[in-house]
Amino acid sequence: MPLEIERKFLVTGDGWRRPGAAVRFEQGYLSRHPERSVRVRIEGTRGRLNIKSGRSALTRLEYEYDLPLDEARELLEQVCEQPRLIKERTRVEVSGKVWEVDEFLGANAGLVVAEIELSHEEEAFVPPEWLGVEVSHDPRYLNIHLIDHPFSTWEDA
């Protein structure tokens, strides 16, 4: 059973940036239920289908499959809910762990979050100096919520 155990944090500063390292992500949803979602994503030049089912705020079942790029593009444009979510992802290694830093674009511009995948919910890790407050338990930061409630509309952003 493929489990994703992930913690999410806001990012402060630019210490995570790596010139030329960001990959553009464009994603849309076929289903956006808080307990389960099905999304189509283009990661650079790669198409992906992703299915997630929540178990807790940190742990979810996750299934991911490759899609031909032209089919992923067609699904995004003609089948997925609109609007789509667009972000640039940079992978940064810190103390043997890979952090995925997502810088959101469009209506979510200004939002930068970092995620780390863990082997269990209590696994210890070394926080990088650019790591801010944890938002793992705040549903506003879930991609499925950012579509209907973009960061630019938050009063406390």
Residues belonging to the active site: 29
The amino acid that residue 97 corresponds to is: K
Residue 75: strand pairing partners: none
**b/e map 112-146, b = 16+ CB within 10 Å:** bbbbbebeeeeeeeeebebbeeebeeeeebbbbeb
Q: CA-CA distances (angstroms) from residue 148 to 30, 91, 116, 154?
A: 14, 27, 25, 11
User: At CB < 8 A and 24+ separation, what contacts does 77-80 make?
Assistant: 79/28, 79/30, 79/40, 80/28, 80/29, 80/30, 80/39, 80/40
Q: How many CB atoms lie within 10 A of CB 153?
A: 10
